[in-house]
Amino acid sequence: MNDELVEIVEGTTKIIVPKGSITEKVPPKEPAFFNPRARLSRDISIIAYSAFWKDFEFPKIFFDGLSGLGARGLRVANEIDGVEKVIVNDVNPNALEIALNSSKINNLKNFEISEDETCRFLSSHSRKNKRASIVDIDPFGSPSRYIDCSIRATMHGGMLALTATDLQVLHGLFNKAAKRRYYGVPIKTEFSNEIAIRLILGCVNFVAGRLDISFEPLFVDHDMHYYRTYLKILNTPEQEEKIGYIIFCKNCGDRYAGIKYETKCRKCAHNTEIAGPLWIGKLFDKEFVKKMSNVKNTLTVDKKCEKILERSKMEAELPATYYTLNEIASRMNSAPIRLENAINKLKEHGFNASVTSLNPGGFRTDCEIDEIIRIFRS
Ligand SMILES: C[S@@+](CC[C@H](N)C(=O)[O-])C[C@H]1O[C@@H](n2cnc3c(N)ncnc32)[C@H](O)[C@@H]1O
Ligand SMILES: [Zn+2]
């Protein structure tokens, strides 16, 4: 094991990391785990948390339930104004020692470590006035085992952020595992990443429902190896039904989200493929994404964030599921048209349409497949 440590800078924060995590292809778990490729995900978190805490009337307290060497928590404590307290928790004492040393070189006074199992740590902070206003869960694999305890440790009106990296399960390779972890199953489609996010949110909805708690998704993002969801937690039971299915017809390409389990295509009567049960409500809060865009300019983050936020803002109020240009082109037996043209054409015909942050060649619209093909041919 190579125990050599080096200092890097992410955002404006100095972070001590094992040298191997920078030089090796797969970051080692010993002495502590750090993935430099998750920088974009941490940048987005810093933007989301800054936006969430802007004009926030309660204490800015942040818990990282599975912190590794504390990269996210260090950045929260250092880069966001007025943070009262950050507690980073992990079972790995080496990771926590490194985190504490990083906090010293950044002169942080608002940074604490905790060595405990995640759910034990969060449960010890689940009483009123002990909870955090933002809780972050970033495990290896699925967050599902931590959803209950992380909701309990998030204050009413606070934020819960969850990462999932069990992409094979979420993308339909192991449906028994998907049912176990998320209560629903995916299907393999061009828009599988949206289904994955909706399965995670579906699971949160089931767990929160048991606790008479509801949530509103504020933001979601996806990069090569992870999904992230940012949710506002509310101490009130859900009133509206937001659990349903995504119905997809491989034959004609029709797709939509609905409450009913429809086994026959509404357009061509072919057998459908069905993902779910899953979350069919909104994925983004447009006002929140606007707030993120505004605070971004005051932070040191990757340029890519701007594009992600622009796209998210545009798609925020459009329907569930998206189409890709390649898929439509192959259905039309022609070369794909340009994304901008596709969106303009749909708008000219009176439909809503936008790019999506989930796929560079994808678009969302309220126009249905047969009409899309007719319009693109025109
Ligand atoms: C993906 S890493 C966290 C990375 C970190 N959030 C970052 O941005 O660098 C997951 C961490 O969870 C810790 N861990 C795994 N199971 C745990 C458990 N049951 N309780 C507490 N920590 C746990 C591991 O030691 C590891 O450091
Ligand atoms: Zn069909």
Say whether 148 sits in a helix, a strand or coil. Answer: helix
- List the domain range (segments joined by +) for residue 114: 5-244
Rounded to 5 degrees, what angle do the CA atoms 57, 62, 65 make?
150
End-of-domain residue from the set 210, 226, 244: 244
Q: Structure pTM?
A: 0.97
Going through the chain in order, the beta strands assigned E by DSSP cover 5-10, 13-18, 61-64, 85-90, 111-115, 132-137, 154-164, 214-223, 226-234, 243-248, 255-258, 273-279, 323-324, 353-356, 359-365
Is 255 inside any structural domain?
no
| Positive/negative CA dihedral, 314, 48, 276, 212 | negative
From 67, 74, 94, 136, the mutation candidate for ligand 1 (largest count of ligand atoms within 8 A of CB) is: 67
Ligand 1 centroid – CA 261 distance (Å): 37
Residue from 15, 86, 90, 117 to probe ligand 1 pocket by mutation (most atoms less than 8 Å from CB): 90
326 lies in the same domain as 238: no
Please check whether residues 193 and 326 belong to one and the same domain.
Answer: no
Q: Please state whether 82 falls in left (phi above 0), alpha (psi between -120 and 50) or beta.
A: left
Q: Give me the pLDDT at residue 237, please.
A: 86
Kindly report the CATH number assigned to the domain that includes residue 69.
3.40.50.150
Q: Are 215 and 205 in contact (CB under 8 A)?
A: yes
Q: How far is CA 263 from the centre of its chain?
A: 30
306 assigned to some structural domain: no
- Asked if 15 and 136 sit in the same domain, the reply is yes
Q: Determine, yes or no, domain membership for 60.
A: yes
Q: Tell me which of 91, 116, 134, 166 to substitute to probe ligand 1's pocket, judged by most ligand atoms within 8 Å of the beta carbon.
A: 91
Determine whether the shortest distance from the Cβ of 90 to ligand 1 is under 6 A. Answer: yes
The residue out of 244, 279, 309 marking a domain boundary is 244
95 close to ligand 1 (CB < 6 Angstrom): yes
Residue nearest to atom 19 of ligand 1 (CA): 117
Number of domains in the chain: 2
- The residue whose CA is least distant from atom 12 of ligand 1 is 66
Q: Please say whether the dihedral angle defined by the alpha carbons of residues 334, 338, 343 and 346, taken in this order, is positive or negative.
A: negative
DSSP characters for 246-262?
Answer: EEE-TTT--EEEESS--
Write the CB contacts of 189 (distance below 8 Å, at least 6 apart in sequence). Answer: 195, 248, 255, 273, 275
Question: What number of other Cβ atoms are within 10 A of residue 217's Cβ?
Answer: 22
One domain for residues 53 and 171: yes
Name the residue of 66, 75, 118 whose CB sits within 8 Å of the most ligand 1 atoms, as the mutation to test its pocket: 66
- Residue by residue, DSSP assigns 62-118 as EEESS-TT-HHHHHHHHHSTT--EEEEEES-HHHHHHHHHHHHHTT-SSEEEEES-H
Q: What is the DSSP letter of 30?
A: S
Contact 59, 133 (CB under 8 A): yes
Ligand 1 neighbourhood includes 121 CB (under 6 angstroms) = no
CA–centroid distance, residue 332 to ligand 2 (Å): 15
Q: Strand 243-248's sheet: what is its strand order?
A: 255-258, 243-248, 273-279
Domain end marker among 228, 244, 260:
244
Whether residues 37 and 123 share a domain: the answer is: yes
What CATH code is carried by the domain that includes residue 337?
3.30.56.70
Residue 265 C-alpha to ligand 2 middle, in angstroms?
Answer: 5
Residue 340 is assigned to a structural domain of this protein: yes
Question: Are 214 and 336 members of one domain?
Answer: no
- Below-70 pLDDT ranges, the chain: 1-2
Q: For 253, phi and psi rounded to 5 degrees?
A: 90, 5
The reply to whether 230 and 364 lie within a common domain is: no
Residues whose CB falls within 8 Å of the CB of residue 121, separated by 6 or more in sequence, listed in order: 63, 65, 87, 89, 114
- Is the distance from the beta carbon of residue 91 to the nearest atom of ligand 1 less than 6 Å? yes
- Is 34 contained in some domain? yes
Q: Relative to the alpha carbon of 249, which ligand is closest?
A: 2
Q: Are residues 332 and 220 in the same domain?
A: no
Q: Is residue 125 part of a domain?
A: yes
Extract the tokens encoding 288.
Answer: 């929140």
Beta bridge partners of 229: 162, 220
Residue 332 lies in a domain: yes
Distance from the alpha carbon of residue 250 to the mean position of ligand 2, in angstroms: 7
Quick check: 77 and 111 in contact, CB under 8 A? Answer: yes
- Same structural domain, 236 and 339: no
- Please check whether residues 351 and 204 belong to one and the same domain: no
Residue 258 domain-assigned?
Answer: no
Same domain, 334 and 235: no
Q: CB count, 10 Å around CB of 226?
A: 18
Any ligand 1 atom below 6 A from CB of 71: yes
Amino acid at 376: F
- Any atom of ligand 1 within 6 Å of the Cβ of 225: no
> Minimum-distance ligand to the CA of 27?
1
Residues 220, 349, single domain; the answer is no
CB of residue 118 inside a 6 A radius of ligand 1: yes
Q: Is the CB of 140 under 6 A from ligand 1?
A: yes
